[in-house]
Amino acid sequence: MIYYRKATFADVDEIHDLIAFYAAQGVMLPKPHSTLYEALREFVVAEDVDSKKIVGVGALHLTWNELAEVRSMAVHENFSRRGIGSSIVKKLLEEGRTLGVKNFFTLTYRPEFFKSLGFTTTTKESLPHKIWKECIDCPKFPNCDEIAMTLE
């Protein structure tokens, strides 16, 4: 059974390891511990009740007026294709709507996953410049190869 909840300080190492696994494969951007601690309130985790391990993670980052980014989505490879990622995104969207978010976006290497949740592909240039403030620290800047997608 999978239990979904907000992340806590005790989860940071497991969140880091899950993201680092996919970052090492080049399908996700790495996140240092310091960034995870600073953004901890943004994260939802999926915990396997039997093992008490974090098997999925995602974050909702508020970027501008009524605009938020779904980011840092990862599901442990042994738990993929069980709806965990979809459930996390739905929880993040619900949380965002509660806050008044009207438009969501993501930058991803997995567009088919987000398309299945209603996101559509867009150009990076169509997104507000405000969202690029963190890109300066990205190892792929200025040659970003992620795919921009939106959900209204």
Q: What's the pLDDT at 26?
A: 84
Q: What is the amino acid identity at position 20? A: A
Q: To which CATH superfamily is domain 2-151 assigned?
A: Gcn5-related N-acetyltransferase (GNAT) (3.40.630.30)
Q: Average pLDDT for consecutive 10-residue bins of the chain (152 residues)?
A: 97 98 90 96 97 97 94 96 97 98 94 97 78 62 78 90
Gap between the Cα atoms of 152 and 150, Å rounded: 7
Q: What's the pLDDT at 132?
A: 62
- Per-residue burial over 44-56, b if 16 or more Cβ lie within 10 Å, else e, is bbbbbeeeeebbb
Gap between the Cα atoms of 16 and 29, Å rounded: 11
Q: What's the pLDDT at 128?
A: 73
Q: Residue ranges of the domains in the chain?
A: 2-151
Gap between the Cα atoms of 17 and 26, Å rounded: 14
Q: What's the pLDDT at 29?
A: 84
Give this prediction's pTM. 0.91
| N-to-C CA span, the chain | 31
* Neighbouring C-beta atoms of residue 68, cutoff 10 Å: 27
Q: What's the pLDDT at 51?
A: 94
- State both tokens at 67: 């605009």
